[in-house]
Amino acid sequence: MDGEQFRAASRQMTDYIADYLTNIRERRVLPEVEPGYLRPLLPAQAPDTPDEWSDVMADIERVIMPGVTHWHSPHFHAYFPTGNSYPAILADMLSDAIGCIGFTWISSPACTELEVVMLDWLGQLLDLPSQFLAASGGKGGGVIQGTASEATLVAMLSAKTKMLKQVKKDKPYMADNAAAALVGYGSDQAHSSVERAGMMAGVKMRQVASDDNFAMRGPQLREAILKDKALGLIPFFVVGTMGATPACSFDNLREIGEVAQEFGLWCHVDAAYAGSAMVCEEFRYLMDGVELADSFNFNPHKWLLVNFDCSAMWIKDASEVVEAFNVDPLYLKHEQQGQVPDYRHWQIPLGRRFRSLKLWFVMRLYGKHGLQAHIRKQVDLAHQFETRVKKDPRFEIIAPVTLGLVCFRLKKRSNEVNETLLKNLNAGGVIHLVPAKIKDTYFLRFAVCSRLTEPQDVDEAWQEVLKQTDLLLQEI
């Protein structure tokens, strides 16, 4: 394909994309294919001679779309949202065209420098404490990671290195066994990636029991730390979650931050989903105490209209991350080293894409007010669904609706009955939801996901819940 052919093909593709997103409401949200559906649709080998572009285009509907779960359908209410917007798609096109690998400043200065500035813009939009921002002139700064899971792992590994250095200095007699004695903490509502980061980092992780509002509190964390210290273990790290995945609950960051400071733990905040809501002043009470944290992460690729992957992470003292991961082979050295961040030291891979373009385009083309309007609209839609649920005495809401997630179940019915309701809803193909379970209570999660969701879609979703509920209750 040459440049002229690309012009023509990309116009076709642009039309296809615009049609797809404009008419996505009409597609069945969950595919009906069986595992293995795709192989028979393709030749057994790659072609010897080039195919025609038109054949490739035609195969999108024949091969791919039947097996796509339409995450941006307004009938998609599973998990948490994933971002999608035209500005972000345009930015990814340009990023792919430039196609640089921005691991050091000199490997593509714009890639590093735009990222530094965009993480400041974004941090200001969220009203993060200035210590996190590079513009403050301190030790803080932001970086784009691929995912929240990577951000947690990077924070944990940095905390591990920092604590091991400390032990070596303070208690040299313990240094040999210190790594095996490290222990970190998260709430029982923390994301599975927290436990997984512990496995990867080779450290023990403890789940601290959350309270009746599913929040981790200071006293429980303190108690867990004291118990471990009594056993001769070395507490080093805690993750506070803002907007935990099961029910979008919020840990008490101030209490956790104070305990972390008392015992010298690194405090990382995982706000993967809820962080986007901080663009609105009225939700910032949820991050009270964030100034006590050492690192903060959220996914613009979840709720801030940026396509995957773009996970924003800020570190109060970036040198602690850089020192933990610094290796400096000759082929990566350059003369400007030290004057600008070399982001390769801030992350696990070496290579990195030009992802800050997505943030730039989205922040410019929506503006602060546009982003706020998006969040507020989606929170209102969640409350619309909540109101419907509350009006029907057969249902109960099992957690406060703070942002865009409604957790509900059939009241006084067994987990099995609720499981069947969920199964029937997904089999119906009109809407897609996933469940969660807290302390043995199974419930359904209705998340407002697509930016295309309108009040009418929420009403239709509720009608579908009513229909499947009536059918199910007639049966039993």
Please, what is the minimum distance in Å from the beta carbon of residue 125 to ligand PLP?
Answer: 19
- With 0-12 / 13-18 / 19 or more C-beta atoms within 10 angstroms meaning exposed / middle / buried, residue 49 is exposed
Please, what is the minimum distance in Å from the beta carbon of residue 297 to ligand PLP?
Answer: 8
Q: In Å, how far from its chain's centre is CA 75?
A: 20
Report the distance separating Cα 263 and Cα 44, nearest Å: 60
Give residues with Cβ within 8 angstroms of 284, minimum separation 6.
127, 278
Please, what is the minimum distance in Å from the beta carbon of residue 151 to ligand PLP?
Answer: 8
Please, what is the minimum distance in Å from the beta carbon of residue 225 to ligand PLP?
Answer: 22
352's tokens: 């990195």
Please, what is the minimum distance in Å from the beta carbon of residue 216 to ligand PLP?
Answer: 13
**Residue with smaller CB distance to ligand PLP, 248 or 318:** 248
**Residue with smaller CB distance to ligand PLP, 191 or 344:** 191
Site of interaction with ligand PLP (CB under 6 A): 80, 147-149, 191, 193, 241, 243-245, 270, 272-273, 299, 311
Please, what is the minimum distance in Å from the beta carbon of residue 329 to ligand PLP?
Answer: 29
Q: Which of 70, 77, 191, 345 is catalytic?
A: 191
**Residue with smaller CB distance to ligand PLP, 276 or 469:** 276
Please, what is the minimum distance in Å from the beta carbon of residue 449 to ligand PLP?
Answer: 12
Long-range contacts of 376-380 (CB under 8 A, 24+ apart): 376/280, 378/81, 378/303, 378/403, 378/404, 378/448, 378/451, 378/453, 379/277, 379/403, 379/404, 379/448
Strands laid side by side in the 311-315 sheet: 141-145, 311-315, 295-298, 266-270, 234-241, 182-187, 204-208
Of 344, 19, 293, the C-alpha closest to 159 is 293
Please, what is the minimum distance in Å from the beta carbon of residue 318 to ligand PLP?
Answer: 20
**Residue with smaller CB distance to ligand PLP, 107 or 299:** 299
- Cβ atoms of residues 189 and 182 within 8 Å: no
Q: Residue 270: in which H helix or E strand, if any?
A: strand 266-270
- With 0-12 / 13-18 / 19 or more C-beta atoms within 10 angstroms meaning exposed / middle / buried, residue 180 is exposed
Other residues' Cβ atoms within 10 Å of the Cβ of residue 257: 24
**Is 70 marked active-site?**
no
355's tokens: 């992802």
Give residues with Cβ within 8 angstroms of 294, minimum separation 6.
155, 159, 260, 266, 267, 268, 315, 316, 317, 320
Report the distance separating Cα 445 and Cα 436, nearest Å: 7
Residue 47, CB half-sphere, CA atoms under 13 Å: how many? 7
**Residue with smaller CB distance to ligand PLP, 112 or 297:** 297
Please, what is the minimum distance in Å from the beta carbon of residue 311 to ligand PLP?
Answer: 5
Q: Is the peptide bond before 309 cis (omega within 30 degrees of 0)?
A: yes
Report the distance separating Cα 250 and Cα 241, nearest Å: 6
**Residue with smaller CB distance to ligand PLP, 255 or 270:** 270
**Residue with smaller CB distance to ligand PLP, 126 or 178:** 126
**Residue with smaller CB distance to ligand PLP, 195 or 288:** 195
- Cα–Cα distance list, 312 to 125, 141, 320, 356, 364 (Å): 13, 11, 17, 10, 17
Give residues with Cβ within 8 angstroms of 470, minimum separation 6.
none
Report the distance separating Cα 293 and Cα 123, nearest Å: 14
**Residue with smaller CB distance to ligand PLP, 299 or 418:** 299
Residue 304, CB half-sphere, CA atoms under 13 Å: how many? 32
Active-site positions? 191
